[in-house]
Amino acid sequence: MADEQGGAVADAARDAVATTWRAQSARIVAALAHLTRDVPLAEDLAQEAVAQALEQWPRDGIPENPAAWLTTVGRRRAIDLFRRGDALATRYELIAREPGFGTVSDPAALVDGGVDDDVLRLIFVACHPVLGREARIALTLRVVAGLQSEEIARAFVVPVATVQQRVVRAKKTLRAAKVPFETPSAGEFDTRLADVLEVIYLVFTEGYAATSGDTWVRADLAREAIRLGTLVARLVPRDAETHALVALMELQASRFEARVDAEGDAILLDDQDRSLWDAAAIARGLGSLDLADSLIDSRGRGPYALQAAIAACHARAQEPADTDWTEVVVLYDALLNLRPSPVVALNRAVAVSRSTGPATALRLVDAIARGGRLDDYAPLHAVQGDLLERLGHAAPAARAFRTAASLSVNERERAVLLRRAEELDPGGGAPPPSAIMPLNDTTSPHEKEEPR
Amino acid sequence: MKYLILIHNEAATIESIPADLMAEYTRVHEAVIAELMASGEFVETDELEVPTAKQVRTDESGAVTIVDGPYTEGREITGGYYQVDVATEQRALDIAARFVEARFAPVEVRRLVHNN
């Protein structure tokens, strides 16, 4: 049927818009900001171009170079805008003088020296101190990394509307403060850099352990983060933590190929075929860590260097049994000292389970759970389930795995967790017996005691 | 054959265990767990929470009396247990003898009657 065909074409066009935006938003917005010197305006123009693409591509077909199409449309809209405002006439002339502004074949070709520096400027603007930390992260993830608001919301465990509001407010703030499209001065570079590194790492994490959808590994996003980190490292070659961040990302990314099986299911660190680990990425990571260590001052290793050192412990181990878990625990202790957090404490507990044993680790994890801050954090329950299983408590382990599965938004991860639960306690995930049978026939005395 | 190894603590001494001895307790437990898991003799282990200890009695009329713990008058309380699946009773006794707790209070070894 013609309608069905039309529907398929429209779906393909919509997919193309989404894919292009995901992969190229940073370059498109950066190219537009390069022209307009105005990041919020550039973002608006890019969004308008996306809206036009959603209208036009289903009808006219997907252009040969979708990113260039979006950039060109954004540029035309910028010019229309400037034409309407006399005050901006000079700016219009500036743009009009740019070679071939009407027919951009590649957004990178817009600027001499490539679009990378503009992407970096874009990140510095998105991470500008006039913005709150959450706004910086939300804006960078959306504009630079091209994430959907839903994904950002999940990463921060906040409602989607909150993220959308954050982005809108962030852009208003940038506009009101007339934040220039430029790299920060030497004086403020270090503090601005710390924010940028944090955002880059969050982008990496989003790509490394996808929080949504059925794709465990979104390598492109992680590679984008590594690329941005490497770019920043090139710009500030004496900064230990920047090299450490690159080391951390390279070492973690080295395991991409080994992290999923043929069916797309997750493979845990212990079960990974280590021959699939990317030796070149490990070498780059260890090199960056050495470089970082050679640059540290009297304060010692920073948080990224400690995390990279932990990743290096895994990368150096030919077999899981070769892992120096005692060293990993020591590194986590240092990290906890520097950055106290229940998530770090949980990771430390996992290392303790390997260096000391499951009973000790379970006590630590239970204490973290009692803290209550990780109630909705799937890995907490997964770790609890794992330790309970190792201590022989099949039913509570299955319950913990099911809780973890209910909290996990990654379909493959959820499948792995549910399978483990089912193996331990078949049918245990069925509706509570009380729903289908008289309460006193089925519940244990312990359960009856609960409500009081 | 399945045995329950019941580890008792002298209630009065629990709080006064020095840190290094506590570390030794832990080390032994972890080593035993690892060994039993490797040999296939491990079934399960758990600790019993002290502050929730309660005793329930009923008399002939069916009246229920609940006595709250913990019992601090020098009484032994059960601190935890292991269920092991071993070839001989001697093996279960050997395992029980390794726990540091055995130095201060008895560790009980009981064969399971029905689940064997």
Q: For residue B45, what is the enclosing H or E element? A: strand B42-47
Do A84 and A190 belong to one domain? no
- Asked whether residue A277 is domain-assigned, the answer is yes
Question: Within A85-185, where are the H helices?
Answer: 89-97, 116-126, 133-139, 149-156, 160-176
**Using CB atoms within 10 A of its CB, is residue A350 exposed (0-12), middle (13-18) or buried (19+)?**
buried
Average pLDDT of the segment spanning B48-55: 76
pLDDT of residue A96: 52
Considering CB atoms only, which of A356, A360, A393 is closest to B46? A393
* Domain end marker among A96, A116, A138: A96
Q: Where residue A234 falls among pLDDT bands split at 50, 70, 90?
A: confident
- Asked whether residue A120 is domain-assigned, the answer is no
The residue written with tokens 């982008």 in the block is A203
**A74 vs A270, residue with greater confidence:** A74
CA B26 to chain A, closest CA, distance in angstroms equals 7
Contact call for residues A63 and A13 (beta carbons, < 8 A): no
Q: Where residue A452 falls among pLDDT bands split at 50, 70, 90?
A: very low
Per-residue pLDDT tens digits for A10-37: 889 989 998 898 888 888 999 999 988 8
Distance CA(A329)–CA(A345), nearest Å, equals 10
Per-residue pLDDT tens digits for A256-266: 888 877 776 67
Q: What residues in chain A have their Cβ under 8 A from chain B's Cβ atoms?
A: 356-360, 390-393
**A382 vs A88, residue with greater confidence:** A382
* Domain end marker among A96, A119, A154: A96
Structural domain including A239 reads: 184-323
Distance CA(A51)–CA(A55), nearest Å, equals 7
* Domain end marker among A323, A354, A379: A323
Is B42 in contact with A359 (Cβ distance < 8 A)? no
**B81 vs B66, residue with greater confidence:** B81
Using DSSP's 3-state secondary structure scheme, residue A40 falls into: helix
Chain A hits for B43, Cβ within 8 Å = 392
| CA dihedral sign, ordered A348, A349, A353, A356 | positive
CATH homologous superfamily, domain B2-111 = Dimeric alpha+beta barrel (3.30.70.1060)
Q: So where are chain B's domains?
A: 2-111
Distance CA(A206)–CA(A57), nearest Å, equals 29
Contact call for residues A96 and A83 (beta carbons, < 8 A): no
pLDDT of residue A110: 44
Do A84 and A204 belong to one domain? no
Q: Where residue A88 falls among pLDDT bands split at 50, 70, 90?
A: low
Residue A148 has pLDDT above 50, yes or no: yes
Average pLDDT of the segment spanning B83-97: 96
Q: Where residue A112 falls among pLDDT bands split at 50, 70, 90?
A: very low
Q: Number of structural domains, chain A?
A: 2
Do A190 and A300 belong to one domain? yes
Q: For residue B46, what is the enclosing H or E element? A: strand B42-47
pLDDT of residue A187: 83
**pTM for the full model?**
0.67
φ, ψ of residue A104 to 5 degrees: the values are: -80, 125
What's chain A's average pLDDT? Answer: 83
Nearest CA in chain B to A363: B47
CATH number at residue A22: 1.10.1740
Size of interface A-B (CB pairs under 8 A): 33
Nearest CA in chain A to B44: A392
Is B31 in contact with A357 (Cβ distance < 8 A)? yes
pLDDT of residue A113: 45
The listed range with the strongest mean pLDDT (A102-116, A299-313, B10-24) is A299-313
| CA dihedral sign, ordered A210, A216, A218, A222 | positive
Nearest CA in chain A to B35: A357
Least confident of A130-139, A322-331, A383-392: A130-139
